[in-house]
Amino acid sequence: MIANGLVVERIAGVREDEQIIRLRGALTLNNLFDFQTAVRAETHKIQIIDFSEVSYVDSAGVGSLIGGFIAAQKAGRRLILVGLNERVKVLLQMTNVANLFPTYETLSQAEAALV
């Protein structure tokens, strides 16, 4: 799915109860609804959001991550972030959102930690 500079792609994980949501582009106010829809529509117990090709996240994007976290918690699912660039890491740390999510440098590290 392509929306206003953001590509949202669903990929099967290595485990049956795992889904990967790969993002490409920038997560901003212009496209956060498509991202939120993808996260909230997911039914797998583990959702890994791959940010390795995300260039930028604005404050509305941070808010959408918080909304995704709350939706996942209510549904008994885990939300994991991977591949955050330095700019996004700093933003999540400054806003105290980083503590909500397990984060890993790579997708393979995240999947290995789930075993």
The CATH number given to whatever domain includes residue 7 is 3.30.750.24
Q: Average pLDDT, stretch 8-29? A: 92
Domain that holds residue 36: 2-114
pLDDT at 2: 44
Torsion angle defined by CA atoms of residues 73, 35, 101 and 61, in that order, rounded to the nearest 10 degrees:
-120
On whether the pTM is more than 0.95, the answer is no
Neighbours of 114 (CB within 10 A): 17
| Total number of domains in the chain | 1
Tell me the C-alpha to C-alpha distance, in Å, between residue 44 and each of 35, 62, 103. Answer: 16, 22, 18
d(CA 98, CA 82): 12
User: Per residue in 22-59, pLDDT tens?
Assistant: 999 999 998 888 889 888 888 899 999 999 999 999 99
Residue 68: which residues within 8 A CB-CB, separation 6 or more? 35, 36, 39, 40, 49, 79
Q: What pLDDT shows up at residue 4?
A: 58
The answer to whether 16 touches 112, Cβ cutoff 8 Å, is no
User: What value does the mean pLDDT take over residues 83-98?
Assistant: 95
Exposed, middle or buried, 46 (CB in 10 Å: 0-12/13-18/19+)?
buried
